[in-house]
Amino acid sequence: MDKNTNHINIPQISIVVPVYNTKDYVVRCLDSIYNQTFTDYEVLIVNDGSTDNSAELCSQYILDKPQFRLINKANGGLTSARYCGWKEAVGKYIVFIDSDDFIESDYCKSLYDACESTQSGLAICSYQVVSNNQIISISQLPVNGQLITNIEEDYTKLLLSYHPKTKHRIPAFLWLRMMLREIITEDCFVDENKVFAEDLIFDLHYVRQVKQIAVVNRPLYNYYLIDGSLTRKYRPNLWQMYKNLYTECLNYCVNNKILNVSCQLSTLLIGGVLHCVQQAARQLDYDEFKGDFRLIRQDEALKNVMRTHVLFSSKYRNLIINHKIVILLMAFFPSWIVYQFYKWRQTR
């Protein structure tokens, strides 16, 4: 039996909110959903085995809100919580909201109207970074116009890398997207503990199913910056996660005959080196750092990429400055100099 037959009124939008130990932020997130100008929605709060009182807060919050529903599950991580919400959702469209963030009051209406008015299977908006009630930065989409029809050239390639000298790319974050629920497949869900930027893999698999993309180039989503969040903690397997991301993206491009993306994929891996080295230098002592550095420097995939970005080549000249620096350091300098350099950069 189709799960939709159990619902008399099928909502237009399913809003999935994974929750794990966000007691200080989850009510703000739910308030921002409750205060949407668009009201034809269901909210699936997925408590992913929280050990604080997040679940209790959610349970109290939904008492007088029939559109809200709490699902409790054992801890399995962000992807498993999103998957759980997707399996339970019944709306025509679906969005995923992180429980420590919050959305603007017209987030749902703007993305919904963009999908409906253009008959697009995907709508995307921009976002702003917020901390301590202040806007830190605003990220605009590098897109002219309100519709992307050449998905390979104007969307997929911008997902994969940086434009020369600027961060000219489309962010892969799921929370910027409204999607048709029925065309999401299980292949979209990738374990965030195995692949860095798992949202990118989700988006690549999903976008194969759509013919055009609606663009709302306004910051409708507020990403709340928290010290100690998953993206800022040291992860010993971070380099392997980047390699897995690189392999997934490479295989996707080969299997879907997406050509002329070698530079984007190389830049993606070089960006991973930069992230790993910076993170290790920031949080490890030198002896620990040296082991991580050696592992990365000896990696065959990286060696192949660096051979195509030799000094003074056109590909090297087109890299942003931070990527140029990390290639120079990896190619010519011992680990202790690299360690001291990034320690010094921390104080700048």
Superfamily of domain 3-224: Spore Coat Polysaccharide Biosynthesis Protein SpsA; Chain A (3.90.550.10)
On the question of pLDDT at 6 being above 90, the answer is no
On the question of pLDDT at 174 being above 90, the answer is yes
* Burial track 5-36 (b if 16+ CB lie within 10 A, e otherwise): eeeeeebbbbbbbbbbbbbebbbebbebbbeb
105: helix, strand or coil = coil
Residue 232 pLDDT grade (very low, low, confident, very high; cuts 50, 70, 90): low
Instruction: Give pLDDT, residue 249.
Output: 94
Q: How far apart are the first and last CA of the chain?
A: 60
Beta strands in the chain (DSSP E): 13-19, 41-48, 68-73, 93-96, 102-103, 122-131, 134-139, 147-148, 177-180, 213-224
- Predicted confidence (pLDDT) per residue in 255-293, tens digit: 988 888 888 888 889 999 999 999 999 999 999 999 999
- Predicted confidence (pLDDT) per residue in 7-39, tens digit: 458 999 999 999 999 999 999 999 999 999 999
On the question of pLDDT at 317 being above 80, the answer is no
Task: Say what percent of the chain tops pLDDT 70.
Answer: 92
Report pTM.
Answer: 0.91
Who has greater pLDDT, 3 or 187? 187
Task: Say what percent of the chain tops pLDDT 90.
Answer: 74
On the question of pLDDT at 2 being above 50, the answer is no
- Predicted confidence (pLDDT) per residue in 119-159, tens digit: 999 999 999 999 988 999 999 898 888 999 999 888 998 88
On the question of pLDDT at 1 being above 80, the answer is no
- Paired residues of 139 in beta bridges: 127
Q: Could you give the count of Cα atoms lying within 13 Å of 122 in the half-sphere of its Cβ?
A: 24
User: How distant is the alpha carbon of residue 345 from its chain centre?
Assistant: 26
Mean pLDDT of the region 63-92: 98
Mean pLDDT of the region 301-328: 80
